Amino acid sequence: MVETGLAVGYLALAAAVGAAYTAPATGYELSIYASTPTATWAALAVVAAISVAVFLTAERYLAPAVLLGGLGAGSVAGLPLIRGYHFYGRSDSLVHLGLVRSIKIGNDPLQLFYPGSHLIATGLAKVAAVDVPRAMMLVMWAYTLLFFASVALCVWFLVPDRRALGVGAFSAFLLLPVNNVSTYLHFHTYSIGMLFVPFVLYLVFSHLIGGDGRERLVERVADGRGAIDRAGLGYDDGAAFDVGLRRPAPTTYLLPPVLFALLLVHPQVALNVMLLLGGMAVAQHAFRWFRPNDPIAGYRLVTLQTIFLTVAFAAWIATHEWQFINTAEAMIQSVSDFVTGDGSATPRVASQRESASSVGASIQVLFVKLFGVAAVYSLLAAGVVAGRLTGYLGPPAGAGSMRSTPDTARDVTALFFAGCLLLFPFFAAHLVGSISTYLFRHVGFLVMLATIFGAVGVRYLLDEESSVSDVDYPWTEPESRSTGRRIAASLPDARTVATVAAVVLVLSLSLATIFPSPFVYLSGSHVPEGEMDGYERAFASQSSGSPVWFSGVRHTSDRYEIALYGAAGAPWDRQVKPAVKKSAPVPEQAMLDGLPTFYANHPEEVVRRDHYFVVAEADRQREVEAYRELRYSAESFEAVAAQPNVGKVRDNGELTVYFVDIEEDPSANAVDDRERIASGRARRTAPSVPVAAASRLSRPTPRPRSVPRAASLPR
**Could you tell me if residue 434 is inside a domain?**
no
Residue 692 DSSP class: G
Spatial neighbors of 562 by CB under 8 A, at least 6 apart, are 94, 95, 97, 98, 99, 568, 694, 697
Phi and psi of 527, rounded to 5°?
Answer: -115, 100
The DSSP secondary structure of 46-57, one letter per residue, reads HHHHHHHHHHHH
Residue 265 DSSP class: H
CA distance 623 to 181: 18
Helices (H), 491-526: 494-511
Largest separation between any pair of C-alpha atoms in the chain: 102
From 67, 85, 103, give the residue that closes a domain.
85
Total residues belonging to the chain: 715
Instruction: Please count the CA atoms within 13 angstroms of the CA of 230 that sit on its side-chain side.
Output: 0
* 547 prior amide bond cis, ω within 30: no
Domain of residue 554, residue span: 528-678
- Classify residue 524 as exposed, middle or buried by CB count within 10 Å of its CB (0-12, 13-18, 19+): buried
- Which whole-number Å values give the CA distances from 285 to 51, 274, 292, 439, 591, in the listed order? 45, 16, 9, 31, 65
The per-residue pLDDT for 259 is 96
**Could you tell me if residue 607 is inside a domain?**
yes
Q: H or E element: which one contains 551?
A: strand 549-552
**Could you tell me if residue 640 is inside a domain?**
yes
Are β-strands 581-582 and 549-552 bridged in parallel, bridged antiparallel, or unpaired? Answer: parallel
Task: Lay out the sheet containing 611-616: strands in order across.
Answer: 581-582, 549-552, 611-616, 655-660, 646-651
**What string of H, E and C letters represents the secondary structure of 175-207?**
CCCCCCCCCCCCCCHHHHHHHHHHHHHHHHHHH
Instruction: Please count the CA atoms within 13 angstroms of the CA of 490 that sit on its side-chain side.
Output: 18
Dihedral in degrees, nearest 10, Cα atoms 338, 343, 346, 350: 160
Amino acid identity, position 170: F
- Which whole-number Å values give the CA distances from 425 to 272, 343, 431, in the listed order? 11, 18, 10
Spatial neighbors of 677 by CB under 8 A, at least 6 apart, are none
Phi and psi of 648, rounded to 5°?
Answer: -80, 120
The DSSP secondary structure of 629-688, one letter per residue, reads TSSS-HHHHHHHTTSTTEEEEEE-SSEEEEEE-----HHHHHHHHHHHHHHHHHHHHSPP
The gap from C-alpha 386 to its chain's centroid, in whole angstroms, comes to: 29
- Which whole-number Å values give the CA distances from 303 to 74, 296, 388, in the listed order? 36, 15, 24
Spatial neighbors of 389 by CB under 8 A, at least 6 apart, are 410, 413, 414, 417
Comparing C-alpha atoms, which of 147, 21, 130 is closest to residue 82? Answer: 21
CA distance 326 to 311: 20
**Could you tell me if residue 437 is inside a domain?**
no
**Could you tell me if residue 282 is inside a domain?**
no
CA distance 29 to 365: 24
Count the domains in the chain.
2
Phi and psi of 129, rounded to 5°?
Answer: 55, 45
Dihedral over Cα of 6, 9, 13, 19: its sign: positive
Kindly tell me the number of DSSP H helices and DSSP E strands found in the chain.
Answer: 29, 7
What end-to-end distance do the CA atoms of the chain give, in Å? 69
**Could you tell me if residue 483 is inside a domain?**
no
Say if residues 48 and 508 touch (Cβ distance below 8 Å): yes
Q: What is the mean pLDDT of each run of 10 residues along the chain (715 residues)?
A: 91 97 95 96 96 89 94 96 95 91 85 91 92 96 97 90 90 94 93 96 87 39 35 36 42 86 95 94 93 87 94 89 64 60 57 63 82 92 88 67 60 90 80 66 92 91 52 43 51 70 89 92 93 88 70 84 73 59 86 90 84 92 90 91 89 92 66 52 42 44 33 32
Say if residues 618 and 529 touch (Cβ distance below 8 Å): no
Report pTM.
0.84
**Could you tell me if residue 90 is inside a domain?**
no
The DSSP secondary structure of 72-123, one letter per residue, reads HHHHHHTHHHHTT-SEE--THHHHHHHHHHHHHTT--GGGSSS-HHHHHHHH
Query: What is the number of other CB atoms lying within 10 angstroms of the CB of residue 282?
Result: 16
From 56, 85, 114, give the residue that closes a domain.
85
Amino acid identity, position 317: I
From 69, 85, 101, give the residue that closes a domain.
85
**Could you tell me if residue 658 is inside a domain?**
yes
Say if residues 105 and 132 touch (Cβ distance below 8 Å): no
Comparing C-alpha atoms, which of 174, 208, 149 is closest to residue 451? Answer: 174
Comparing C-alpha atoms, which of 178, 59, 166 is closest to residue 458? Answer: 166
Comparing C-alpha atoms, which of 391, 21, 377 is closest to residue 177? Answer: 377
Interaxial angle between packed helices 347-358 and 363-390, expressed in degrees from 0 to 180 and rounded to the nearest 10: 140
CA distance 17 to 73: 11
The per-residue pLDDT for 108 is 83
Helices (H), 320-405: 321-339, 347-358, 363-390
Dihedral in degrees, nearest 10, Cα atoms 638, 643, 649, 651: 10
